[in-house]
Amino acid sequence: MPDTLRQILASESALSSITLRGWVRTRRDSKACSFIELTDGSCFKGLQVVIDASLPCYSLMSKILTGASVEVDGDLIASPAQGQKWELQAKEVRLLGEADGTYPLQKKGHTPEFLRTIAHLRPRTNLFGSVFRVRSKMAFAVHRFFQEQGFFYAHTPIITSSDCEGAGEMFRVTTLKQGAPAKPEEDFFGRPTYLTVSGQLQGEAFACAMGNIYTFGPTFRAENSNTARHAAEFWMIEPEMAFCDLQADMTLAEENVRYLVKAMMTECPDELEFFNKFVDKELTNRLQQTLDKPFERISYTDAVDLLLKSGRSFEHPVVWGEGLQTEHERYIAEEHVKGPVTIYNYPKSIKPFYMRQNDDGKTVAAMDLLVPGIGEIIGGSQREERLDLLTEAMAKQGLDEETYRWYVDLRRYGSVPHAGYGMGFERLLMFVTGVSNIRDVIPFARTPGNAAY
């Protein structure tokens, strides 16, 4: 593989006769030379290439505009001017691919909204190049976090017939012709199938065999959600631990977030600096505090009390037994705690059948981890491991016993206490980059009415 800018810029000393390839970010002309700002996406920084007017290739300069791809031979020398440590003194420049005046990316700033309309070109910008380098680093850090603790990576199915109750609307998967009357038994799988909304149920089967497992893969929700933090296709991380209760579940979730914040700060310093300067001026502070301050935990009941005593008038009334509204969660995370906070033990009436009933008979061992600015980043629970209580809850919520027969089997044969959670990968990325719209941390975002590219 040829050298990348990242490798070259790490050099301690001048280098002679190197070759670099990349894209022209901008070009400036002087009397005796031309300056190209070259980037290749391998790192945040670019390199200034100096082309002397006496070079035969200088005639190419009129065609080398912003966006063009070039290959440059030259020497890496200490830059005599302010602004950069190194520069590349060109000996030969080859124009690989022209980009004319219609190239949409200019030297000046673009809005994220406009860049969304050119999703195929936006990774060439500082912002999106940074986001997607971070995305790669974070994905790897997710695996490292679990692998270091002996978790097994389980590939749960993308196509599934089980609805993880409460997770939302599902996309139907079928080979039946549209409009033709047909029974589900005639479909490809002989039953109705969907794109997964969660790997949890299958994850439980593996946890109840291999101990600690996690999934990390695409997840699909057909909800007509139009918000800055929902997507129809996103990636979710779902650990599931056998012999684990809610306390240990919450502890792992907190450590998980911390580990990834730490990875961001140590592995992506250039990107962090950029985000802090141009995206969110509080980002570095917030991430540092996340590492320094222990996460708070508040029970749902205490959270309701706290909201009632806050003296705040909320648009939605605070009532025990109702779900916490966004404004309530924001108040708790952003004003009361001013940092990440886990709310646990929710009323059982608002939570799905698989969550473990607490001894009070009113609540279940559920938890949500909230972070300032985004809200829920993790949702999890201890699972109901007691056969009678599980089937009772299923009946109450009107679920078809046959569909969940295999799931109930996990309680019928060698049942153990177990717990897990789901972490939204994109929401985590929003948290560590400061980027406020989920569409801007997904390479090609799928949202209602939008699947171009």
Interacting positions 83-112 with RNA (CB under 7 A)? 83-84, 87, 89, 100-104, 106-111
Q: How far is CA 138 from the centre of its chain?
A: 8
Nearer to RNA, 244 or 333 (CB): 333
- Strands of 208-264 (E only): list them: 212-220, 233-242
Contact flag: residue 59 with RNA (CB under 7 A): no
Q: How far is CA 239 from CA 120, 248, 346, 423, in A?
A: 33, 12, 20, 9
Q: Which of 213, 377, 390, 432 binds RNA (CB under 7 A)?
A: 377
Nearer to RNA, 2 or 317 (CB): 317
Stretch that binds RNA, among 229-237, 280-288, 295-303, 402-410 (CB under 7 A): 229-237
Q: Least distance to RNA from the beta carbon of 180, Å?
A: 26
Nearer to RNA, 86 or 189 (CB): 86
Q: Which of 198, 345, 357, 433 binds RNA (CB under 7 A)?
A: 198
Contact flag: residue 365 with RNA (CB under 7 A): no
Environment class of residue 304 by beta-carbon count within 10 Å: exposed (0-12), middle (13-18) or buried (19+)? Answer: buried
Judged by CB under 7 A, the chain residues 304 through 333 that form the site for RNA are 316, 323, 325-327, 329-330
Stretch that binds RNA, among 77-85, 152-160, 280-288, 290-298 (CB under 7 A): 77-85
Nearer to RNA, 163 or 329 (CB): 329
Contact flag: residue 29 with RNA (CB under 7 A): yes
Nearer to RNA, 123 or 168 (CB): 168
Strands 47-52 and 86-97: parallel
Judged by CB under 7 A, the chain residues 407 through 446 that form the site for RNA are 422-424, 426-427, 436-439
329: enclosing H helix or E strand: helix 326-330
Q: Which of 167, 173, 318, 343 binds RNA (CB under 7 A)?
A: 167
Number of C-beta neighbours around residue 84 at 10 A: 14
C-beta separation of 237 from 351 below 8 A: no
Q: Least distance to RNA from the beta carbon of 48, Å?
A: 6
Smallest CA-to-CA distance from 376 within 399, 336, 338, 342 is with 342
Contact flag: residue 181 with RNA (CB under 7 A): no
Q: Least distance to RNA from the beta carbon of 181, Å?
A: 26
Nearer to RNA, 77 or 387 (CB): 77
d(CA 428, CA 374) in angstroms, rounded, equals 9
> Which residues are 213's β-sheet partners?
152, 240
C-beta separation of 419 from 359 below 8 A: no
Q: How far is CA 251 from the centre of its chain?
A: 21
Nearer to RNA, 122 or 427 (CB): 427
Contact flag: residue 35 with RNA (CB under 7 A): yes
Nearer to RNA, 14 or 182 (CB): 14
Helices 269-278 and 126-148 sit at what angle, rounded to 10 degrees?
A: 130
Position 209: which residue type? A
Q: Least distance to RNA from the beta carbon of 425, Å?
A: 8
Contact flag: residue 251 with RNA (CB under 7 A): no
What are the residues whose beta carbons fall under 8 Å from the beta carbon of 29, sequence distance 6 or more? 35, 61
Judged by CB under 7 A, the chain residues 126 through 145 that form the site for RNA are none
Give the binding-site size for RNA (rule: CB under 7 A): 77
Q: Least distance to RNA from the beta carbon of 221, Å?
A: 4
Nearer to RNA, 59 or 111 (CB): 111
Nearer to RNA, 316 or 412 (CB): 316
Sign of CA dihedral 404, 407, 409, 415: negative
256 three-class SS: helix
Contact flag: residue 391 with RNA (CB under 7 A): no
- Strands of 209-362 (E only): list them: 212-220, 233-242, 296-299, 341-347
Contact flag: residue 403 with RNA (CB under 7 A): no
